[in-house]
Structure formats: structure tokens, C-alpha cells
């Protein structure tokens, strides 16, 4: 129960701070850079340039709940990490960025077609799952310590790792296709 509680709390904090407060900050930056879009509805139903208490509270609650789910995913995956410390540290945030990023970045709608610079909208969106996972893993590893919480049998652990690599490959292919579908390459800087 201690492990479950620590993971849920780490996820809630990560969701609140990174997803809620960080997400609101990212929206603010993009709105300030695109004043001509104020009043336009985003793909998620928010009005660009309008920061309301109810909208902010809604965002904070939703990202905290999503963070709790992310904390539980962290608890399941943390003991599948392997290799040197640097690889164990970076594998979860990169994996989360690819998986969640492929769901958040899309070529339909207006969020990634209208906002300029497009590369910044994509980068800030991808930063949310990356930073969330860094926060959750840092807190979770500190609170849970180095000992395994879930003792996976060796064969099952390697099977699950292989499955994760395959699934991440599918998410990566989807993310790359989405980036290609956008009006212009979001990571192509003007000359």
C-alpha cells in the first residue's frame, strides 16, 4: 500500500504541477505569441487568450487525475528499467514522450496548424509528458527507494520490455507521420 500511495501521490503532484500549471503556462506563451487568434476555440474547447478561474480549475483537476493514472503506470513500469543509471533515468521520460506525444500532437484541427511558431507548439506539447515523467520518476524513486516493488520473473520482464519496445515503435511511427502531415515541418527553422 505504501508503494501504491507513493506512486499515486507522485503522479498527482506531477499532473498538477507539470500538466496543470505547466500546461497553463505553455498555453499562455502560445496565446501571447498569437494575439490574432484570441477568441478562437482550441481543439479541446478552450478559448484562446481567455484565462478563466473555472477553466484553470478544470485543467488542474483533469491533469491531476490523469497524473494519478500516470503514477500507477510508473509503478508498473519502474521495475522493468534496466541498464546503467543514466539509461534507467531517461528511458521512462522518452518512452512517455513518444507514447503520449503521439496522442497529443495531431494534424487535424487547429492547434498545430494555426499557432506560430508551429515547432514551439509541438515542442511545448511534447515537453508535458517528458517533464511529467521526470517529476514522477524522481519523486517515486526517492520515496520508494532502489528496491523492486514488483518482482517480475526474469522471462516475463524481458517479454514485457520487448512488448514495450514494439508498442513504442508503433507510437513513434505514428508521431513521425503526424509531424509529416502538418502544414510545414514543425522542426524546420527559417533560414
pTM here? 0.87
pLDDT at site 182:
84
CA terminus-to-terminus distance, the chain: 55
Q: Which helix (H) or strand (E) holds 56?
A: helix 53-77
CA distance 62 to 14: 12
pLDDT at site 184:
58
Assign residue 39 a region (left: φ > 0; alpha: ψ between -120 and 50; beta: otherwise): left
What's the average model confidence in pLDDT over 105-125?
Answer: 87
What's the average model confidence in pLDDT over 59-74?
Answer: 96
Task: Assess contact for 88 and 156: CB atoms under 8 A.
Answer: no
Which tens digit of pLDDT belongs to each residue from 157-181?
A: 999 999 999 999 999 999 999 998 8
Rounded (10°) angle between helices 2-14 and 53-77: 140
Which tens digit of pLDDT belongs to each residue from 82-98?
A: 999 899 889 999 999 99
Amino acid at each position: 500500500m505504501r508503494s501504491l500511495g507513493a506512486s499515486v501521490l507522485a503522479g498527482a503532484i506531477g499532473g498538477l504541477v507539470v500538466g496543470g500549471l505547466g500546461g497553463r503556462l505553455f498555453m499562455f506563451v502560445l496565446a501571447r505569441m498569437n494575439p490574432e487568434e484570441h477568441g478562437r476555440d482550441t481543439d479541446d474547447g478552450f478559448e484562446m487568450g481567455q484565462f478563466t478561474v473555472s477553466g484553470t480549475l478544470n485543467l488542474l483537476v483533469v491533469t491531476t487525475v490523469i497524473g494519478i493514472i500516470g503514477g500507477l503506470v510508473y509503478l508498473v513500469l519502474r521495475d522493468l528499467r534496466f541498464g546503467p543509471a543514466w539509461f534507467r533515468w531517461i528511458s521512462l521520460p522518452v518512452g512517455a514522450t513518444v507514447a503520449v506525444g503521439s496522442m497529443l500532437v495531431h494534424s487535424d484541427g487547429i492547434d498545430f496548424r494555426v499557432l506560430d511558431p508551429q515547432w514551439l507548439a509541438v515542442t511545448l506539447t511534447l515537453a508535458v509528458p517528458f517533464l511529467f515523467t521526470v517529476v514522477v520518476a524522481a519523486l517515486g524513486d526517492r520515496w520508494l527507494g532502489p528496491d523492486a516493488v514488483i518482482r517480475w520473473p526474469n522471462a516475463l520482464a524481458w517479454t514485457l520490455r520487448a512488448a514495450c519496445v514494439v508498442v513504442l515503435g508503433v507510437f513513434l511511427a505514428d508521431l513521425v507521420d503526424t509531424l509529416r502531415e502538418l502544414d510545414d515541418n514543425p522542426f524546420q527553422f527559417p533560414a
